[in-house]
Amino acid sequence: MAKDRLFARPIGKQFEFDEEVASVFDDMIERSVPFYKENKALVIDLLIKNLPKGARLYDLGSSTGSLLIDLALRREDLKLIGLDNSDAMIKRSQKKAKAYGVEVQFVHADILEYPFLEADAFVANYTLQFVRPLKRERFVATLHNRLKDGGIFIFSEKVISEDKRLNKQLIDIYYDFKKAQGYSDFEIAQKREALENVLVPFSLQENMEMIKNAGFSYVEPIFRWANFATFFARK
């Protein structure tokens, strides 16, 4: 696994999921997202418990395909589709799926424009936060409409706290976590600048209100660490 040192040098552009990012993404996400492996395992376990035989699942922003490939290794009967607007990510996903010998369809596509078939589940891990706020709730409503009755939507996001002092403290704790993973103050500052106005997080309450406004009958957080949270919603 290539080590993420992208922000160890000065950068002059906003963050984007290009070939440079794709080449180190697995290392980046494991060192940047607290309890990433444990949370991925939790999501997969819930999918296995909720999806009937032959179910169709879309992973929105599938990156290098790790979640779908791990799921396919445990459930061969599912129709798994990973969507990502980064061609570099899709190519890496396809190579990885072939290496593992699993049937997963990875498609280079804009999730906001994609013609979804009726689905049993949608997953979006740290994806909605990159959808502009004005389009986010409408998009979630689209997902709700394409789900079968009883279908589920599991998504993970960075979240902000409505208490400003607590929010600052949680961010500081998160940066301490990143330092413990080997990132320097310079790398942390560089990535923060690159993500400015690209990643726009909601609060825990705003995410839950968005889900309810889209028509889902139930939603609750199933994981939280500082300013990271995972939600489970059912139609």
In tens, the pLDDT along 63-122 reads 989 999 999 999 999 999 999 999 988 999 999 999 999 999 999 999 999 999 999 999
Chain position carrying tokens 């999918």:
47
What is the model's pTM?
Answer: 0.86
Whether residue 76 lies inside any domain: the answer is yes
pLDDT at 25: 53
158 occurs within a structural domain:
yes
Q: Quick check: is 3 in a domain?
A: no
Q: Would you say how long the chain is, in residues?
A: 235
107 located within any domain: yes
Residue 1 pLDDT: 52
214: domain CATH number is 3.40.50.150
Distance of CA 219 to the CA centre of its chain: 17
For the chain, the domain total comes to: 1
Residue 194 has which token pair?
Answer: 């690159």
SS3 22: helix
Cβ atoms within 10 A of the Cβ of 205, count? Answer: 11
The answer to whether position 167 is within a domain reads yes
In which domain, by residue range, is 52 found?
14-234
Q: Is residue 9 part of a domain?
A: no
What is the reported pLDDT for 105?
98
8 domain residue, yes or no: no
Collect the ranges in the chain with pLDDT lower than 50. 2, 4-8, 10, 13-17, 19-24
The amino acid present at 38, given as its one-letter code, is E
Looking at residue 181, its pLDDT comes to: 78
Q: φ, ψ for residue 86 (rounded to 5)?
A: -105, 115
For the CA atoms of 11, 13, 15, 19, what is the dihedral angle to 10 degrees?
-80
- 140/208 Cα distance (integer angstroms): 11
pLDDT of the residue at 191: 65
pLDDT at 33: 87
Q: Is residue 2 part of a domain?
A: no
